[in-house]
Structure 1
Amino acid sequence: MAPSIEVSKTQLQAPEPEHCPGPESEQAGKDDACEGCPNQDICSSQLPKGPDPDLPHINKRLAQIDHKILVLSGKGGVGKSTFTSMLSWALAADEDIEVGAMDLDICGPSLPRMLGAEGESVHQSNSGLSPVYVADNLGLMSISFMLPDPDSAIIWRGAKKNGLIKQFLKDVNWGEHLDYLVVDTPPGTSDEHLSVTTYMKEVGIDGALIVTTPQEVALLDVRKEINFCRKAGIKILGLVENMSGFVCPNCKGESQIFKATTGGGKQLCKELDIKFLGSVPLDPRIGRACDSGECFFDSYADSPAATAILDVVDALRDQVELNMGKLSLS
């Protein structure tokens, strides 16, 4: 049986109105939906005072994780979740490394399908929530595992999203030690991003991997994501340009699908002083592997895209280790 999502219990005078942020929310009693609600004064009085009591539990849980990487884009459709799945597979290819993937795209979770764990469920015990393991050293946590039906729509306001993110960070039992936690986030710079960066602030985030495609429409939103990282104090480990050209599986010829009218990701990195990790060409077999939940590298090791992705992963790990070296010297 799937575990339920945490909700605070309060003695309310009337049923919660539609669009209620919830009595456990920071907006309880202050949201537009609270106007005229008989519970407004009660909810306002229930707001916690002082430091968040869950933060010590989150810090203790995350202290067992060496490296924490956020995968961001700002733009939907650039292959962020696809790249997260392949990054997870690539890291887990080293049997000595323990890897965890956390799907924070609450309204559109896709990692379970891409990692071959669709239809699985998580279980709760005294030690917390158990992730679903798609390999001996690769675990996955997603809201998809907690839904009664895979087609169920998540229609939540920010407070419930924040509560789920806190539960994932506080309660998921990754084992005694995890080398890498890769966090897939939804497009934009909203609730999920603010929550995960706030809750993980004390234990530290190694940095963000920014994913884009070459065209200016994608780069416009990616610039906003970069600005968000700098305002939130998140180090940018580097940027990868996904779908950079098309590789024919038969003739191996390459052509440009999304033309870089302003220089693409590489030029953006020069402008904003960001590390360019590399370009990954579009290969239709990537989509085929993700749809079937296969490891792309095992199925299509001959693809130029596989080589490019592994080069990006190597460059990313170099950046993580470089940052750790700087921290140890400071």
Structure 2
Amino acid sequence: MFGKIFSKKASTQAVKSLGETLSTNEIEPFIKDTLSHYISENFPEGILAVCQQFTISQHKTITVNLVMPFICQGELDLVAQTLSENLACTVSIKVELAIKPVRQFSLGKAQEGSGQGYLPQGKVANIIAIASGKGGVGKSTTTVNLAYALMSEGAKVGILDADVYGPSIPTMLGLKNEKPSSSDGKLMTPLNANGLSAMSIGFLVDEADATVWRGPMASTAFNQLLNETDWPELDYLLIDMPPGTGDIQLTLAQKVPVAAAVIVTTPQDIALIDAVKAIAMFDKVKVPVLGIVENMSYHLCENCGHQSHIFGEAGGEYMAHDHETKLLGQLPLDIAIRQDADLGESDIIENSAGEIAKHYRKIARNISAQLFLQCDIASPLTAKVVTKA
């Protein structure tokens, strides 16, 4: 089984040790060697290449403690399972997160008069924009479920509904008709949804009222929602962007230290055309695009398990290849996802080990890992400058 998770350059010592009884002194080197040579999309140089701290405790069971810069518990649980099978004893891997900003905040009170927004220094580590070229691709539903998925993997997460014209986040979080409070009369306290910190214009405006604003007014409202909310300490703040490439998107890119963007699309050609425009916009404003989430990729028949590609097949994969980005994951067209969104519930909260939750948690891990690998200077993929005397 280890042959499936080792890279081609896996050490012969590790492979030779399979099936053999190891002494207590040999177990730790074996596990370290295994983690060093485990290769995947999120660990291109092995697990220990990004691990910030590594310890092992051995009693009746073996516990591996890792301090990691991105969420990865779900993937490492599978590694622990394989280690358990090969060592013939229970091995668990416990991950402690040490998520840091990949883009340093240069915003502060000194810029208040410059028209630039600001966030409390050190409170929000990374801002990720979830965008789409057009509406109707399930972007808001995906944003909410990814936020819950990040939380289920141990991260501290907030969500900001930037769609001031059609806010849907309050309904999807089960917070319809809720209003934010304020402890100091200056900053709004975000609402709590199962541990998720949330803010939306939908909390401030009656859902029956039409939001008739011109572009600058909408941008100002977005800035206020972001900067006048008393956000707690967050590893990730997901911003549910309105569809398109208009004023709010430009405001976000120009005035907010966005770490990266994720594009949501369906495999349908018309959705892909508009998604390409979203990628182009983020490229122009120097915001890295981590990759593509293909929503409604297929419908899985409840009776026979057959996959029907209703909106086309592999469109997101081709798009990611053509624009040199990554396909972060594919989500099925599932009635349970729609029902949960309408009811303000989430299968990730109710059944974190279910099939739907597994899809979202895997994509959440990919987003978190790719943010570090692509954007953080500490990434093992970052080019190193070597000078010779």
- TM > 0.5 between the two? yes
2:125 corresponds to which residue?
A: 66
2:344 corresponds to which residue?
A: 293
| Distance in 2 between residues matched to 1:72 and 1:79, nearest whole Å | 10
Q: Does 1:247 align with 2:300?
A: yes
CA, structure 1 residues 294+60, in 2 after alignment: closer, same or farther (shift >3 Å)?
closer
1:232 corresponds to which residue?
A: 285
Shift of 1:119: 1.2
CA contact (8 A) 2:149 2:357 kept: no
Question: 110, 120, 144: which is aligned to 2:178?
Answer: 120
- Output the TM-score relative to the length of structure 1: 0.76
| Distance in 2 between residues matched to 1:198 and 1:218, nearest whole Å | 26
1:266 corresponds to which residue?
A: 317
**What is the identity, as a one-letter code, of the residue corresponding to 2:246?**
S
Aligned residues: percent identity? Answer: 35
Q: Give SS of 1:107's match.
A: coil
**What is the identity, as a one-letter code, of the residue corresponding to 2:155?**
I
CA offsets, 1:14-67, max 9 Å, x none?
Answer: xxxxxxxxxxxxxxxxxxxxxxxxxxxxxxxxxxxxx761657x4342642111
2:253 corresponds to which residue?
A: 197
After TM superposition, the structure 1 = structure 2 runs for residues 24-39 of structure 1, keeping only pairs within 5 Å, are none
1:307 corresponds to which residue?
A: 358
Shift of 1:299: 3.8
CA, structure 1 residues 250+152, in 2 after alignment: closer, same or farther (shift >3 Å)?
farther
CA contact (8 A) 2:164 2:222 kept: no
1:53 corresponds to which residue?
A: 113
1:158 corresponds to which residue?
A: 215
Relative contact order (C-alpha < 8 Å, sep 6+): which is higher? 1
Question: 82, 98, 101: which is aligned to 2:141?
Answer: 82
CA contact (8 A) 1:61 1:169 kept: no
1:187 corresponds to which residue?
A: 243
Q: Give SS of 2:125's match.
A: strand
Moved over 4 A (4+): 300-303, 327-330
**What is the identity, as a one-letter code, of the residue corresponding to 2:180?**
V
**What is the identity, as a one-letter code, of the residue corresponding to 1:155?**
V
CA, structure 1 residues 315+62, in 2 after alignment: closer, same or farther (shift >3 Å)?
same
CA offsets, 1:233-252, max 9 Å, x none?
Answer: 11001111110000234543
CA offsets, 1:191-214, max 9 Å, x none?
Answer: 1101111111xxx32200110100
CA contact (8 A) 2:112 2:118 kept: no
**What is the identity, as a one-letter code, of the residue corresponding to 1:317?**
S
| Distance in 2 between residues matched to 1:257 and 1:311, nearest whole Å | 23
| Distance in 2 between residues matched to 1:257 and 1:59, nearest whole Å | 44
Shift of 1:106: 0.5
Q: Give SS of 1:210's match.
A: strand
Q: Give SS of 2:258's match.
A: coil
Q: Give SS of 1:206's match.
A: strand
- Output the TM-score relative to the length of structure 2: 0.65
CA offsets, 1:263-317, max 9 Å, x none?
Answer: 4010111111011112111111000011111122244557544322221111111
CA, structure 1 residues 118+251, in 2 after alignment: closer, same or farther (shift >3 Å)?
farther
Structure 2 gap segments, 5+ residues each = 1-110, 385-389
**What is the identity, as a one-letter code, of the residue corresponding to 2:301?**
C
| Distance in 1 between residues matched to 2:218 and 2:121, nearest whole Å | 19
1:31 corresponds to which residue?
A: none
Question: 262, 269, 272: which is aligned to 1:219?
Answer: 272
Q: Give SS of 1:307's match.
A: helix
| Distance in 2 between residues matched to 1:302 and 1:93, nearest whole Å | 10
Q: Give SS of 1:68's match.
A: strand
Shift of 1:159: 1.8
CA contact (8 A) 1:247 1:304 kept: no
Q: Give SS of 1:179's match.
A: strand
| Distance in 1 between residues matched to 2:330 and 2:219, nearest whole Å | 33
Shifted more, 269-278 versus 245-254: the winner is 245-254
CA contact (8 A) 2:129 2:239 kept: yes
| Distance in 2 between residues matched to 1:298 and 1:72, nearest whole Å | 24
1:111 corresponds to which residue?
A: 169
1:7 corresponds to which residue?
A: none
CA contact (8 A) 2:282 2:288 kept: yes
CA contact (8 A) 1:73 1:188 kept: yes
Shifted more, 218-227 versus 302-311: the winner is 302-311
1:91 corresponds to which residue?
A: 150
Question: 148, 158, 171: which is aligned to 1:100?
Answer: 158
CA contact (8 A) 2:320 2:326 kept: yes
